[in-house]
Amino acid sequence: MAAKRISQETFDDVVQENIIEFGMDPEEALNEAIQQFESQGVDLSNIVKIVPSPASENGQEQKHMVLQILDCLQKAVIDADSSKVDESLVNFAKQCRLELSVRYLAAQKGAYPAVLAACRLASEERCSLLKALQALSALLEGQPDILDVPGQELLLRVLQESRDDADLTLAGVRCIRYACLKHEQNRQDLVKGGVLALLSEAIVRHGDRADVVREACSGLRIMTFDDDIRVPFGHAHDHARMIVVEHNGLGILIEAAKGKGSDSPGALARRPSWLSKNKVYRLLVLDHHTCLFLSFSHQKQACMLIRNLVSHTQDFSQPILEMGAEDLITEAREAHRDCDDVAKAALRDLGCKVELRELWTGQKGSLAR
């Protein structure tokens, strides 16, 4: 049975009724409203569970803070007041990052057109554009449906025209990541617009920025997801093939994994989930997989990568073993206790002999490792 839903206005009216009619303090009135609706089986996941703030001097009008800021933003955009727009965008982004219900309420009240207009207004001013993109990414998180074709075109244009600017690239890629998570149509539209080349280029061009590499790797990874339940057949495998064959994705990612940034293992961690998806990777993987062992800090992720490869495609096992993988994985086990489980899993799936000890038999005594 589908859960019942109510509007934000209905919830706020009940809170105000509890305050005015029953003399409750705001916190008590809020908790009472929550309990009342939850007892009726109402889904409050998209409801802002905060007492609205006074929106006028006499306190008569009550409005949630995000909507008050949105009003200021809309007025500033109409007036083309860049300083007010910047201030409103920063405050709006802070509000949107609080929780999904705040973002949902803002989107219901016309936030997306206002933020998109702010992006266009700031197109020639770097600092303003950065604030606008950060606000857009905060709004898009968890609600990719709001992105339309003009928004897609704007994001692609930003990545093309600001490719040398690491901060703008980071903000633009983050918008794309949020817009494509659980949204197959956005993925297909952006891929047709050339986003795979732009994401790959961002990794190469800004390889010294771990945050950009990490975000772009996440963006590429999401392009290979099949997570939109509204679509019977996605293009996940087509996108994975395009990343590797048309954009040298594997070579780019392995080079990025050698980066000197302290966060680079985090970027490497994003590869295994899509790296083994398609057999088109076979020759490339066999040529380059040993590069993953050049950096000592990457050994655990490299073990996971090999394990994922051979668990999906057993044909990889023998060529990888012939290249000396067993000795390298054994060395990783001996050097790092934290590597033991993933290294053992990699050896097991490669068909190597692995001692599997029973840690506990359910009899007397405690666990022994």
**What are 245-283's pLDDT values in tens digits?**
999 998 898 888 776 444 444 444 444 444 544 433 433
Residue 1 located in a structural domain: no
- Tokens standing for residue 135: 């606000």
Residue 238 located in a structural domain: yes
Which pLDDT score is estimated for 58? 59
333 lies in the same domain as 247: no
Residue 110 located in a structural domain: no
151 lies in the same domain as 232: yes
Tell me which residue range forms the domain holding 313: 293-354
What is the maximum alpha-carbon separation in the chain? 79
**What are 143-160's pLDDT values in tens digits?**
999 999 999 999 999 999
Residue where a domain stops, chosen among 208, 233, 258: 258
249 lies in the same domain as 325: no
CA separation for the pair 109, 67 (Å, rounded): 8
254 lies in the same domain as 297: no
**Helix, strand or coil, per DSSP, at residue 1:** coil
Residue where a domain stops, chosen among 203, 231, 258: 258
DSSP-assigned states of every residue in 173-237: HHHHHHHHTT-HHHHHHHHHTTHHHHHHHHHHHTTT-HHHHHHHHHHHHHHT----TT-SS--HH
204 lies in the same domain as 160: yes
CA separation for the pair 71, 69 (Å, rounded): 5
The count of structural domains within the chain is: 2
Amino acid letter, residue 286: L
Residue 240 located in a structural domain: yes
309 lies in the same domain as 223: no
CA separation for the pair 191, 47 (Å, rounded): 34
CA separation for the pair 283, 208 (Å, rounded): 28
153 lies in the same domain as 226: yes
Which pLDDT score is estimated for 292? 42
Contacts of 221-224 with CB under 8 Å at 24 or more apart are 221/270, 221/271, 221/273, 221/274, 222/177, 222/180, 222/181, 222/187, 223/180, 223/187, 223/190, 223/191, 223/195, 223/196, 223/199, 224/273, 224/274, 224/277
DSSP, res 316: G
- Cβ burial of 71 (10 Å; 0-12, 13-18, 19+) is middle
Provide the residue count of the chain. 369
226 lies in the same domain as 151: yes
161 lies in the same domain as 233: yes
Which pLDDT score is estimated for 70? 98
Task: Please report, rounded to a whole number, the percentage of residues in the chain having pLDDT higher than 90.
Answer: 64
CA separation for the pair 215, 213 (Å, rounded): 6
254 lies in the same domain as 304: no
Residue where a domain stops, chosen among 209, 238, 258: 258
239 lies in the same domain as 175: yes
Residue 241 located in a structural domain: yes
165 lies in the same domain as 245: yes
The stretches in the chain having pLDDT less than 50 are: 260-274, 276-296
